[in-house]
Amino acid sequence: MVNKQAKHIKQTCKPSDNKNDVQRFDNIVIHSTNIAMYLCYMKAVFAKATHTITTHLVLPENTNTLGNLMGGQLLNWLDIASAIAAHRHCRRVVVTAAVNNVSFQHPIKLGDLVVIEAKVSRAFGSSMEVFMDIFVEHGTTGQRTKCNEAIYTFVAVDQLGNPIQVPELTPETEEEKVRFDGALRRRQLRLILAGKMRPEEATELKALFNN
Ligand SMILES: CC(C)(COP(=O)(O)OP(=O)(O)OC[C@H]1O[C@@H](n2cnc3c(N)ncnc32)[C@H](O)[C@@H]1OP(=O)(O)O)[C@@H](O)C(=O)NCCC(=O)NCCS
C-alpha cells in the first residue's frame, strides 16, 4: 500500500528534467512514504492482537516458608505478561506507569502452574490499560481455577523516554467491550490518585455516583 501511494505521488507530481527538481520530488515521495507508513502504524488494533499467555511453574525459590508463592514474584510475572501485551499493541518500547489493581485472594502453592492471560483493554494517548486474568493449574490434578485479576498501565516511550502516541484499541467480544467501557473510569480514578487529574474533571467517574 505504501509503495502504491509513493508511486502514485511520483506519477502525479511530474517533475521536470531539472536535476534539482527530480531530487526535490524524490524527497516528497520519501516524506509521503513515511507519513503513509505512520498512518498504517496508527491504525486501530484489535484487542485480540494483544492477547498474551504466560505459564510459570512455582519453584521453591518463589515461595515463602509456608510453601506459598510470594506476592512480589507474582507481580513480576504480571509485569512481564502485561508488558508483552502492551508492546503487541503499539510495537514500541513500553514502561510500567502504574500497578493499578492486584489482590491475592487464594494462596498459590509450590508445584502449581500459574497461567496469566493478558490483553490491552483500552488505549488512550500514550498509555494503555492491560487487564489480566490469573489461573492456577493444580500440579497433580491439572484442574484450572481462576484465582485473580490484575490491571497494569503502560506508557509507550521513544528512545529518550518521552511518551509517544499509540493506536486506538478496538474491542470485539462482550468481555472486551465491558472492560473497554470501564477503562475510562478506572483511568480517571488512577490519575486523581496520582495527583494528575482534578476530581471535578473526572466526568465519567462522577456520573457513576450521580446515576
Ligand atoms: C510513565 C512516564 C513515561 C510518564 O511520563 P510523564 O512525564 O509523567 O508524562 P505525562 O504526564 O505526559 O503522561 C504520559 C501518559 O502517562 C500517563 N500516566 C502518567 N502517570 C500515570 C500514573 N501514575 N498512572 C497511570 N497513568 C499515568 C498519563 O495519563 C499519560 O497518558 P495519556 O498519554 O494516555 O494521556 C514516566 O513517569 C516514567 O518514565 N516513569 C518511569 C517508568 C518506569 O521506569 N517504570 C518501571 C518502574 S519500576
The string of pLDDT tens digits covering residues 148-197 is 999 999 999 999 999 999 999 999 999 999 999 999 999 999 999 999 99
The string of pLDDT tens digits covering residues 81-131 is 999 999 999 999 999 999 998 988 888 999 999 999 999 999 999 999 999
Q: Where are the alpha helices (DSSP H) in 70-173?
A: 71-90
Q: Where are the alpha helices (DSSP H) in 45-173?
A: 71-90
pLDDT at position 199 = 85
Q: How far apart are CA 80 and CA 96, in angstroms?
A: 10
Q: How much is the pTM?
A: 0.82
Helix (H) or strand (E) holding 150: strand 144-157
Interval between CA 157 and ligand 1 midpoint (Å):
9
Residue 117 grid cell:
492471560
Q: How far apart are CA 208 and CA 211, in angstroms?
A: 6
Q: Is the pLDDT of residue 25 over 50?
A: no
Task: Name residues whose C-beta falls within 8 Å of residue 204's C-beta, 6 or more positions apart in sequence.
Answer: 184, 185, 188
Task: Provide the pLDDT confidence category of residue 12 given band limits of 50, 70 and 90.
Answer: very low
Diameter over CA atoms, the chain: 81
Interval between CA 97 and ligand 1 midpoint (Å):
5
pLDDT at position 38 = 56
Q: Is the pLDDT of residue 51 over 50?
A: yes
| Closest C-alpha residue for ligand 1 atom 24 | 98
Q: b/e string for 4-32 if b means 16 or more Cβ within 10 A?
A: ebbeebeeeeeeeeeeeeeeebeeebeeb
| Closest C-alpha residue for ligand 1 atom 9 | 163
Q: Which atom of ligand 1 is nearest to the CA of 124?
A: 34
Interval between CA 161 and ligand 1 midpoint (Å):
10
Interval between CA 86 and ligand 1 midpoint (Å):
14
Residue 171 grid cell:
474491542
Other beta carbons less than 10 A from residue 166's beta carbon? 25
Contact assessment for residue 114 and residue 77, using Cβ atoms and an 8 Å cutoff: yes
pLDDT at position 57 = 96
Burial class (CB in 10 A: 0-12, 13-18, 19+), 51: middle
Task: Provide the pLDDT confidence category of residue 34 given band limits of 50, 70 and 90.
Answer: low
> Alpha-carbon torsion 30, 32, 37, 41, what sign?
positive
Average pLDDT score over residue span 25-53: 70
- Cβ–ligand 1 distance for 157 under 6 Å, the answer yes
User: Which among 9, 43, 40, 41 is positioned nearest to 27, based on CA atoms?
Assistant: 9
Interval between CA 115 and ligand 1 midpoint (Å):
28
pLDDT at position 209 = 76
Task: Provide the pLDDT confidence category of residue 203 given band limits of 50, 70 and 90.
Answer: confident
Mutate to test the pocket of ligand 1, among 82, 122, 155 (most ligand atoms within 8 A of CB): 155
Contact assessment for residue 129 and residue 184, using Cβ atoms and an 8 Å cutoff: no
> Which segment of 1-5, 43-47, 197-201 scores lowest on mean pLDDT?
1-5
Q: What is the average pLDDT score of the chain? A: 85
Average pLDDT score over residue span 69-90: 97
pLDDT at position 49 = 98
